[in-house]
Chains A and B, each alone.
Chain A
Amino acid sequence: MLEARAFEPEFLKKLDRLILGIKRARTVRAGQRTLGRVQGLGIEPENFREYNEGDDLRFLDWNTYARLDELAIRTFRAERQVEMTMLVDASGSMAFPERDDKLGLALAIAASIAYVGMNDNDAVRIGAFAMRRGEMQLDLSPFHRRRESYLNFQPFVAAVRTGGETRLGAAVDSLLHQRRPAGIVMIISDFLVNRIDYEDALSRLIAARHEVKAIHVMGEMESNGAYPPGLYRVRDAESGEMRETVFGPETAAACRRKVEQLSGAVREFCNSRGIAYAHAFGAGSLEPFVERELPALGVVR
């Protein structure tokens, strides 16, 4: 139920002063076919370079040719709108521990960032993914650009249900098959998957020239290992695999170590690929995370 917090007026007032921290300016390479179609709001000269055969003669700088008798091509910086996709992990692991409401936290963060993104009239959508019955189920909301349409996200967010397995690679495949222009993709997940899976998924997004940001969400109970003491059989929410374990101080410490290792591994990979990484552990960390963590990490400013 934490996702409802993202639509409360008091909470939205706090988001009003935030701006999406993305590399909005893109270099439009001269002669590329996409230039005209991706024309932004303004054009400013960026640089000159030597003319090569095949360059568009419209960008030839005739003044330079007249003074220096050399053919040079002018390049420009094109400022344009970006498409932002918030991909929320809706697998079965996001439902446990129940009291942590990880899915609610992930959806609230996604909606909050979407609201910030709509400040600049960027096209924003929210998606939820999970592998269910052997098929990747990627549900995406329509793009919304203006804040007036922010509340249109609310039915979609409220309808997201957990279930199935986390398959980041398959989700990215489904997203890339839509052949949308490169934009911003934020993946919000607990990353409780095989390391190869998330590394492959994030790498392919990078390769598709998306600006990728990873937000690691975990519950307070599972990140601290604070389960009721005793001997239990624990069942994996996604695979159904069972294992006997004893919950206690030692298990909690081991659990915390494993969470730190997982978080460290994801952060390390993201840093190596220039991906902004942030983690939100615990439902109580929604507002501090949005107000402090995201600006600190450059997701918003």
Chain B
Amino acid sequence: MGFLNPINLLWAAALGVLVFIYLRSRSRPTIAVSSLMLFDEVPAPVARMRHVRIDLLFWLEIAALTALVLAVAGLYVMAPVRAHHGRSHALVFDLGAAMSAKTSGTSSLEEAKRQAFGVIDDAAAGDEFSVITYALEAQVAAPQTRNIASVRKTIDALKPYAVPARASALEAAMMRARGASTIDLFTERPPSQRAIADAGTTAQVRVHRAAHGDDNVAIVSLDPGTLDASRGRVVLRNFSLKPRLAELQIKIADREVFHQTLMFAPREQMVVGFEPLKERGLISAQILTPDAIEADNRRWAYGQTDAAGRILVLSPDAAVREDLARVLIAVNPNLQIETADPAKFDSHANGARPFDLAVMHDCYFPGVPAASVLLIYPPAAIPPAARIPGLAVSAKAGPAVLNSARDRGDEAGQGAVVPAVRTLSLPDWMDTLALGTRPGTYDLAPIAAIGSVPGGRIGILAFDVRDRLLLDPDRLDALVITVNLMKRLMAPANLQIVSTGSYLNIPVTGPAAITAPGGAASTATPDQWGRVRLRPLESGRYTIESGNRTVQVFANYFDASESDLAMAASAPAARATGSAASSNSAGPREVQPLLIILAAMAMAAFVIEAAVLLRHASRWGLGHV
């Protein structure tokens, strides 16, 4: 028993209104009489007894109203499925990375597909099927249909992603499957009790768990170190309950720099160091030993650049120019940094060679030739003809708290307070990198953003860095945000390293051909800002070609809970299947709304009430009804 529209139970408040009206009318019905000479004042105890007096009309109205409220709330019961009645099945697939785990050459998803085909084969003719998938989000791959061939084709086309399967996505998938009489969930780990319980109230839930081993070693992180200075590090983790061997190879620009076979104790995490890199470029680490999940066996990083780039720093404050130069030297000691006061700067006196990065603090020179521009505490007056279309900056500045806790993954962290922040209105083509909060409000305001235009990349920092802000040890968040933004602005424009599941905006010059790691090709049309939006769901290299330009995106995958197959295998499967079995025990059942019965009860109550009222009117007159 349950409610299809429980929100409509709010109408039950009408019962309270009815009781109020009843008590009020019971307490003070007024009747006009010819004279009070004929009546005595009633004793007080009798007056109090009126509240418990049984009133047939009142109870009839309560019954009718209750029946109507339950009817609009969609009260239903679970009844056995009637014979010859087409049932609806929802096939829910987990497409998280763990579903790619292979045992004896067969992945968990392939095993799930086999079981799903068995369900389809066992179903009666006329049954309907829908296919719902979930990983980061829930998605209906095939809506409810009787076309079995279409359903099979949809299931055949399913493939696992290199992303974790989120519990919220599972709950969303189960909600979408709620209308079905039977829900078959194909996953490799026990679902949350809440998701099953919610769906189990309206449908029969069957959990099909794909068996797999726990044989998985993953690359947790890859740090290329500092060129010719510090060692690089690779963190690996054995998720198996048994000792494991893993052969690790590290390459830079297709040249092997490290190769070693490592012995892992059960569930050991190991930090492997390698010599400082001698050259810059793309570095990749790969576990050559095959294991259950391939997606976490390879990882990419970009070696710190030591290119001798030209950097221009403009600021009206000499101390700020000095601070920014120090930070830039710390990022790349080989940078050639030129600083200038905007009041004395002549953009035409620097020759034809453009700057690699122009950092402008509290000023803006649109004519400076630079591959990238970093605006720090930008002025409010930015000419419309500038290369930052759509950006608006308020002249008013105030303090803000940097919302850096989320960036660091430290939920308990308290962001630094920066004294002067200008409010930015970012155009759609810019991505927000950091947010802040004005004191006394809960509104999030952008603090750092980056975007690309045909002329190059533009980064913006909304806070002022005067008064040695970047060197203040109590405000390291500001320094971290500044350094990260500088690194991104100076990174190669045709190479990006991201995590799977994240969104990317890649500037292109026309329609872009996208090649996924598996070789699947697709075409994307740029938006009004000349960008294509990409969300890598597989680990590996994506290639985006547009015109003469090629951008490579390397997607790294690692998720500790998803890759931990041993934990999933040892989870209490009996509990999950037990809850499903509880809904199975009475055989197939389906939702049967009680709308007609409740409406009939309400109507009967109204009819009885009308009869009572008629009798009352005939006896006492209409004035007393």
Residue-by-residue, is A85-111 near B (CB-CB < 8 Å gives 1, otherwise 0)?
Answer: 000000011111111001000000000
Considering the chains assembled together, what is the distance between the CA atoms of A163 and B593 in angstroms? Answer: 58
Of B37-45, B74-82, B161-169, the one with at least 4 CB within 8 A of chain A: B37-45
Q: Are B31 and A233 in contact (CB under 8 A)?
A: yes
B35 and chain A: residue at smallest CB distance: A192
> How many of A's residues come within 8 Å of B, CB to CB?
38
Asked whether B575 is an interface residue with its Cβ less than 8 Å from the other chain, the reply is no
Q: Are B41 and A237 in contact (CB under 8 A)?
A: no
Considering the chains assembled together, what is the distance between the CA atoms of A258 and B47 in angstroms? Answer: 22
Considering the chains assembled together, what is the distance between the CA atoms of A146 and B50 in angstroms? Answer: 59
Q: Are B38 and A258 in contact (CB under 8 A)?
A: yes
Q: Are A232 and B34 in contact (CB under 8 A)?
A: no
Q: Are B30 and A233 in contact (CB under 8 A)?
A: yes
A73 to chain B, nearest CB (A): 53
A247 to chain B, nearest CB (A): 8
A3 to chain B, nearest CB (A): 18
> Which residue of A98, A232, A241, A262 contacts B621 across the interface (Cβ within 8 Å)?
A98
Asked whether B616 is an interface residue with its Cβ less than 8 Å from the other chain, the reply is yes
Q: Which B residues touch A241, using CB under 8 A? A: 36
Q: Are A228 and B34 in contact (CB under 8 A)?
A: no
Considering the chains assembled together, what is the distance between the CA atoms of A237 and B35 in angstroms? Answer: 6
Q: Are A192 and B37 in contact (CB under 8 A)?
A: yes
Q: Are A243 and B36 in contact (CB under 8 A)?
A: yes
A91 and chain B: residue at smallest CB distance: B34
Q: Which B residues touch A254, using CB under 8 A? A: 39-40
> Which residue of A99, A190, A231 contacts B26 across the interface (Cβ within 8 Å)?
A231
Residue-by-residue, is A134-161 near B (CB-CB < 8 Å gives 1, otherwise 0)?
Answer: 0000000000000000000000000000
Considering the chains assembled together, what is the distance between the CA atoms of A225 and B31 in angstroms? Answer: 13
Residue-by-residue, is A195-224 near B (CB-CB < 8 Å gives 1, otherwise 0)?
Answer: 000000000000000000000000100100
Asked whether B32 is an interface residue with its Cβ less than 8 Å from the other chain, the reply is yes
Q: Which A residues touch B26, using CB under 8 A? A: 230-231
B463 to chain A, nearest CB (A): 72
A271 to chain B, nearest CB (A): 22
Residue-by-residue, is B15-34 near A (CB-CB < 8 Å gives 1, otherwise 0)?
Answer: 00000000000111111111
Q: Are B42 and A246 in contact (CB under 8 A)?
A: yes
Residue-by-residue, is B37-60 near A (CB-CB < 8 Å gives 1, otherwise 0)?
Answer: 111111000110010010000000
Among the interface residues B26, B28, B36, B620, which one has the most CB atoms of the partner chain A within 10 A? B36
Considering the chains assembled together, what is the distance between the CA atoms of A97 and B622 in angstroms? Answer: 12
Asked whether A25 is an interface residue with its Cβ less than 8 Å from the other chain, the reply is no
Q: Which A residues touch B27, using CB under 8 A? A: 231
Q: Are B42 and A245 in contact (CB under 8 A)?
A: yes
Total CB contacts across the A-B interface at under 8 A: 93
Asked whether B624 is an interface residue with its Cβ less than 8 Å from the other chain, the reply is yes
Q: Tell whether A236 pairs with B621 under 8 Å between CB atoms, given A230-B29, A244-B41, A246-B42.
A: no
> Which residue of B29, B35, B37, B619 contacts A232 across the interface (Cβ within 8 Å)?
B29
Asked whether A123 is an interface residue with its Cβ less than 8 Å from the other chain, the reply is no
Q: Which A residues touch B34, using CB under 8 A? A: 92-97, 102, 190, 192, 219, 222, 237
Q: Which B residues touch A26, using CB under 8 A? A: none
A99 to chain B, nearest CB (A): 5
Q: Are A237 and B33 in contact (CB under 8 A)?
A: yes
Q: Are A232 and B41 in contact (CB under 8 A)?
A: no
Q: Which A residues touch B36, using CB under 8 A? A: 234, 236, 239, 241, 243
Q: Are A234 and B31 in contact (CB under 8 A)?
A: yes
Q: Are B38 and A255 in contact (CB under 8 A)?
A: yes
Asked whether B623 is an interface residue with its Cβ less than 8 Å from the other chain, the reply is yes
Asked whether A251 is an interface residue with its Cβ less than 8 Å from the other chain, the reply is yes
Asked whether A259 is an interface residue with its Cβ less than 8 Å from the other chain, the reply is yes
Q: Tell whether A244 pairs with B42 under 8 Å between CB atoms, given A228-B620, A231-B47, A233-B28.
A: yes
Q: Are B31 and A236 in contact (CB under 8 A)?
A: no
> Which residue of B39, B53, B616, B624 contacts A234 across the interface (Cβ within 8 Å)?
B39
Asked whether A48 is an interface residue with its Cβ less than 8 Å from the other chain, the reply is no
A16 to chain B, nearest CB (A): 34
> Which residue of A99, A225, A231 contacts B42 across the interface (Cβ within 8 Å)?
A231
B55 to chain A, nearest CB (A): 9
Q: Are B30 and A245 in contact (CB under 8 A)?
A: no
Considering the chains assembled together, what is the distance between the CA atoms of A48 and B88 in angstroms? Answer: 123
Q: Are A235 and B38 in contact (CB under 8 A)?
A: no
B34 and chain A: residue at smallest CB distance: A93
Q: Which A residues touch B35, using CB under 8 A? A: 93, 190, 192, 236-238
Q: Are B624 and A228 in contact (CB under 8 A)?
A: yes
Residue-by-residue, is B604-625 near A (CB-CB < 8 Å gives 1, otherwise 0)?
Answer: 0000000000001001110110
Q: Are A251 and B623 in contact (CB under 8 A)?
A: no
B50 and chain A: residue at smallest CB distance: A231
Contact surface of A with B, Cβ cutoff 8 Å: 92-99, 102, 190, 192, 219, 222, 225, 227-228, 230-239, 241-246, 251, 254-255, 258-259, 262
List the 8 closest pairs (A to B, CB-CB), nearest first.
A93-B34, A192-B35, A228-B620, A99-B621, A96-B34, A233-B30, A236-B36, A246-B42
**Contacts A232-B31, A244-B47, A245-B41 supplied; 19 other A-B pairs, CB < 8 Å:** A96-B32, A97-B34, A99-B623, A190-B34, A227-B31, A230-B29, A230-B53, A231-B42, A231-B46, A233-B30, A233-B31, A234-B32, A234-B33, A236-B33, A239-B36, A242-B30, A243-B41, A245-B40, A258-B38
- In the complex, 6 of the A-B residue pairs with CB atoms within 8 angstroms, ordered by the A residue number, are A93-B34, A95-B34, A98-B621, A244-B42, A246-B47, A259-B38
Contact surface of B with A, Cβ cutoff 8 Å: 26-42, 46-47, 50, 53, 616, 619-621, 623-624
